[in-house]
Chain A
Amino acid sequence: MHVPDGFFEASTSVAAGGVALVGVAACLHGARRELDERTAPLAGLVAAFVFAVQMLNFPVGAGTSGHLMGGALAAVLIGPWAGAMAVAVVLLVQALLFADGGLSALGINVILMALITAGVGYLVFRLVMGVLPKRLASVPLAAGIGAFVSVPVAAVAFVGFYAIGGTADISLGAVASAMIGVHLLIGIGEGVITGLTIGSVIAVRPDLVYGARRLLPRPQLELRPAPTRGTTS
């Protein structure tokens, strides 16, 4: 869903850039609470993984493909703020190094694919977790549902932006129904990839999944023999 240059009026692009900048600043601030010495490198891994999987376009029929956006996946893995930050880094690298996503559209792309997918994806994840049994097995399912919902929401947001400052004279209704239709299909792929990935991480290291933290037993203090002072040589 990388918006190229020329789709939006300059004023809309600049305004979106400002909103994205404030959003990313908020993410950097919020991510402080989610990251520590141990999990900081995971943010790098999550960004690298999202970059890689974004290259894997899957067919959704009618000569159309889709790819993971990754906001929901990143949010459940490392927290919503850090997750949005990680995807924003992916989008920055794609625009600067790979000419994917217009430079003037970077703000819009960050809002759509980093802020909205991470925010909506995590919110829906938490809502679904609220009704599912409090077990680790619920996490991949809830994450998948959050990921699924986040994609058509981002598509609707794109149409909203286009209504405000799109450059071409098009039928908004036709664009809206086409965008929502195809992104419901892409959302299924997003949900499946997210669920499988979260499930795989939970199978090996549930303690590294931010969204599973509350389900793990708190680390217990161990009883260890105290060193016998003075008697050992």
Chain B
Amino acid sequence: MTTGTPTTDTGRSRRTKLFLLAGLFVALALAGIGSYYASADPDGLTKVSEDEGMAESETPHDLADSPLAGYETEDVDNDRLSGGMAGVVGVGVTFVVAGGAALLIRRRSRPSDDREVTEVEASRP
């Protein structure tokens, strides 16, 4: 059982882990550093709302006083740091929540790697 497949399977799962880490690194860099250089102009909906009068009925956000509201970290005066920290926290939280949800609902029976092993086993004379 243990002699056949491990080299390719662990190799592939190690490469997937590496891909995950690299992807997370890119996301952290974009949110933590790149976001500082984003356009500060209102987005499409905000602009149209201001131009066409929809914005008049807007009410303040219920959590407008929360520590990371508006992608700014409370009590951090440096813009770069304030936005960067908010971005890093957001990337971390979305990764954990979405990844956790996916792990909870994923298929448990016969995951692909196990199936490969059993097929190889079955093909042996």
Contacts and interface: CB of A to CB of B under 8 A. Distances in A.
B10 interface: no
A204 B111 CA distance: 23
A57 B91 contact: no
Contacts, number: 250
Interface residues of B, number: 76
B54 to A, nearest CB: 5
Contacts of A224: 4, 120
B76 interface: no
B71 A35 contact: no
Given A48-B24, A49-B27, A205-B15, A55 B58 contact: no
Contact of B57 (A6, A38, A42, A94): A6
Interface in B5-43: 8, 13, 15-16, 19-20, 23-24, 26-28, 30-31, 34-35, 37-43
Contacts of B62: 5, 102-103
Contacts of A38: 13, 16, 111-113
Contacts of A205: 15-16, 19
Contacts of B48: 175, 178-179, 182
Nearest to B16: A38
B98 A64 contact: no
A40 B101 CA distance: 9
A51 interface: yes
B90 A45 contact: no
B59 A32 contact: no
A175 B45 contact: no
Contact of A32 (B30, B35, B37, B105): B105
B33 to A, nearest CB: 10
Contacts of B15: 205
14 contacts: A5-B58, A32-B105, A35-B106, A36-B111, A43-B98, A52-B27, A52-B87, A57-B40, A64-B43, A67-B43, A90-B94, A103-B63, A208-B16, A208-B19
User: Nearest 5 pairs between A and B by C-beta?
Assistant: A44-B99, A47-B98, A6-B59, A43-B102, A99-B69
